[in-house]
Amino acid sequence: MLRVALPNKGSLSTSASVMLTEAGYRQRRAERDLTCVDNDNGIEFFYLRPRDIATYVGSGDLDLGITGRDLLIDSGAPAEEVLALGFGGSVFRYAARPGTVDSVDDLGGRRIATSYPGLVARHLGERGLEAEVIRLDGAVENAVGLGVADVVADVVSTGATLRQAGLEPFGDALLESEAALIRRAGGPSSEAADGLVRRLRGVLVAREYVMLAYDVRVELVEQASALTPGIESPTVSPLHREGWVAVQAMTPARQVQRIMDELYAIGARGILVTRIHACRI
């Protein structure tokens, strides 16, 4: 059986389970369940703290896991990203009170509070900076006001928590993170693991693309196909009506309204968009 680690709570938990459900896997019934066996697909899911997932996968005790890229790097575990999953996005940044510290070069000798000491130490090390990293469990934005640190390094999403604490981000982001499927670094691949990766890729494509279909005069096929190249190539089929063809192509959902306008403008008609529920590319 393939053994897969999933976040048991926090920002990534619901989206990870939704994605696996969309990929056709069974998920736990209750939020407190710690395991779930999917016999039909030969998979057992283990619900773990997202921060611990890279440790289980890096040691080889579990085959695959879903966690944040930032948590993977912070753990220092010998695990690697297989597939970015497009949810749980965040930016990791330094912040301080305005007029105190405002550049990364100025971090030497400072006290930096963070829940991600591994990530911060790696960033400082790469720049040859020496600072005191103070590990806190959470709510790190309070550390400056309480005098424990000069700087915080933390996940920023809307920025509201930083503003409330009177802090301003400075310097480039240390990392842009999102949820990722991970496996043991350099570990052997298996047909079971590859099958799960293919299903998750299918979910990503089904979320990003729609199926666009339209009719167009045959002499305009090249011009229309340039607007709808599809993933491989558009499907062009004959129509009973002389001089016309039907075209079908997968199209990025975010651009589809603009593409429909442009198709209409060149003379395409009967333009239809349908959702893709699942696919294998």
Ligand X SMILES: Nc1ncnc2c1ncn2[C@@H]1O[C@H](COP(=O)(O)OP(=O)(O)OP(=O)(O)O)[C@@H](O)[C@H]1O
Where does this chain bind ligand X (CB under 6 A)?
A: 7, 10-12, 50-51, 68, 70-71, 88, 90, 138, 155, 157, 177
State whether the Cα torsion 82-83-88-93 is positive or negative.
positive
Instruction: Tell me the sheet residues that pair with 84.
Output: 180
Closer residue to ligand X, CB minimum distance, 13 or 100: 13
DSSP states of 92-123 as a string?
A: EEEEE-TTT--SGGGGTT-EEEES-HHHHHHH
Q: How far apart are CA 143 and CA 9, in angstroms?
A: 25
The one of ligand X, ligand PRP, none whose footprint includes residue 65, by CB under 5 to 8 A per kind, is none
Residue 69 C-beta: closest distance to ligand PRP, Å: 15
According to the binding rule CB under 6 A, does residue 159 interact with ligand PRP? Answer: yes
Buried b (16+ CB within 10 A) or exposed e, 84-110: ebbbbebbbbbbbeeeebeebebbeeb
According to the binding rule CB under 6 A, does residue 206 interact with ligand PRP? Answer: no
Residue 157 C-beta: closest distance to ligand PRP, Å: 3
According to the binding rule CB under 6 A, does residue 156 interact with ligand PRP? Answer: yes
The one of ligand X, ligand PRP, none whose footprint includes residue 26, by CB under 5 to 8 A per kind, is none
According to the binding rule CB under 6 A, does residue 171 interact with ligand PRP? Answer: no
According to the binding rule CB under 6 A, does residue 95 interact with ligand PRP? Answer: no
Give me the residue whose beta carbon is nearest to ligand PRP: 138
Could you give the count of Cα atoms lying within 13 Å of 27 in the half-sphere of its Cβ?
19
According to the binding rule CB under 6 A, does residue 173 interact with ligand PRP? Answer: no
Contacts with ligand PRP by CB under 6 A lie at 138-139, 141, 154-161
